[in-house]
Amino acid sequence: MGSSTYGITDIDCRHDVGRQNRDSAQVAKRSITKAMDLSVIGREHLLLLNVPKESPSDIVILSAVRSPITRAFKGGFKNAWPEDILAPVMAEAALRAKIETGDVQDVLIGNVLAELGFAKTGRMALLHAGFPTSTTFHTVNRQCSSSLQALTHMAHAIQAGQIDVALAGGVESMSKNYQSRGIPQDVGPALRNTKVKAAADCLMPMGITSENVARRYGVDRKTQDEYALLSHTRANEALAAGRFDAEIAPIEYPAYDNEAGETSQVRVAADDTIRPNVTLEKLAKLKPAFLEDGGSTAGNSSQISDGASAAILARRSWATERGLKPIARFLGTQVAGCEPDEMGMGPIYAIPRLYEHVGIEQKDVDVIELNEAFASQTLACINKLGLDVDRVNPNGGAIALGHPTGATGTRQLATLIAELGRRGEEIGVISMCASTGIGVASAIIME
């Protein structure tokens, strides 16, 4: 899709969305709502009596930005290393926050697959991006929720008085590292032969957990495909309308051709995961990916992808002293465990805990970014929680955009902040399931 200009390949895949797709998506949405018995929650006047008022000790977000997301092995970052994607995103996060790189005291990056947990190359990337040696660096792996956990840990560090300013984010190059650590190869005999079902199920392939959810919670193949169409159509419409532009930092990186012995600069300016012209008919033709009689396919599951994301957090008093205007306030995070063999249901436990923790109710929430690991679990969570499908992933989710595992949480944050700002609304929630049976949910309020 690229054109070569001055030696730079500009990958900027934008697609027009036809009327037929929009009409199909509306039919799909109505069918989903009927099939899953979704309750549409009316929007009432916002009453946040239990949410603390503004305080100098608040944790505020000064910026949230992401790279484009590209298809693993085929897309714009297929020749990039994770540090190539992350370094410019970290620098852009500081720039958008209107702070100096030296203001950032600590950095925490979520990563699932890279060698040595990305601890050493991540620190190298930080320094390569122009941050001083005084800015410290570490990584966290909580599977698909890694960067949301990074955000939470950094908020806690500020809250505890350890630091005033932090960068939290995530990165994943599934092109480089997809085969490395999805399922551990070195498992001792005690665990390999465990008789504890939940322990053994922690090694269950994610696709099988998706099929378990579909069967246990009554999500058939047709309904999964209908939701996938909705995700693809929403993402295409958002792309065509330029809604992702504000959250994306274009990335340039050096691509090495070992055979030719040459290096060229590649520029990636937009997501290349979003497929045009998706229809129910095309989705229905795809074969089940995990079980012969299953319902999860390549079309209704999240895409393996490459990408990075980052956010700057600070204590409100620190930002106020420097005349900086926060874009949002971090309200809190809750984590909950569930059965590993239906790990996709984690959000149904984490989200209610979050509401109780931060003092809000479902009716107060304007937009929910719910990670679409699979259509099966997304729909099951929507149904069990009684969510309004119109307020869940209004610009599409991981089925259409992709799921660069370590980066997804703060990617969702960047998308959520941009969408709430566009709508002029206030309360947003981010949630996802994670491998081994974990649900994570966080809430923000716009400033």
List, by residue number, the catalytic residues.
144, 403, 433
Helices 19-36/221-240 angle, 10° precision: 140
The 8-class DSSP code of residue 131 comes to -
Helices 146-159/408-423 angle, 10° precision: 80
The 8-class DSSP code of residue 359 comes to T
Q: Tell me the sheet residues that pair with 438.
A: 337, 434
Backbone angles phi, psi at 262, to 5 degrees: -125, 155
Residue 272 CA to residue 277 CA, distance in Å, equals: 14
- Distant-in-sequence, close-in-space partners of 226: CB < 8 Å, separation ≥ 6: 28, 29, 31, 32, 35, 280
- Distant-in-sequence, close-in-space partners of 384: CB < 8 Å, separation ≥ 6: 217, 345, 348
Here the tokens at position 329 are 């306030």
CB 360 within 8 A of CB 51: yes
Residue 165 CA to residue 55 CA, distance in Å, equals: 16
- Distant-in-sequence, close-in-space partners of 390: CB < 8 Å, separation ≥ 6: 29, 40
Residue 238 CA to residue 395 CA, distance in Å, equals: 6
Helices 221-240/375-385 angle, 10° precision: 90
Residue 370 CA to residue 378 CA, distance in Å, equals: 7
Here the tokens at position 177 are 């590292």
Strands 305-315 and 165-173: antiparallel
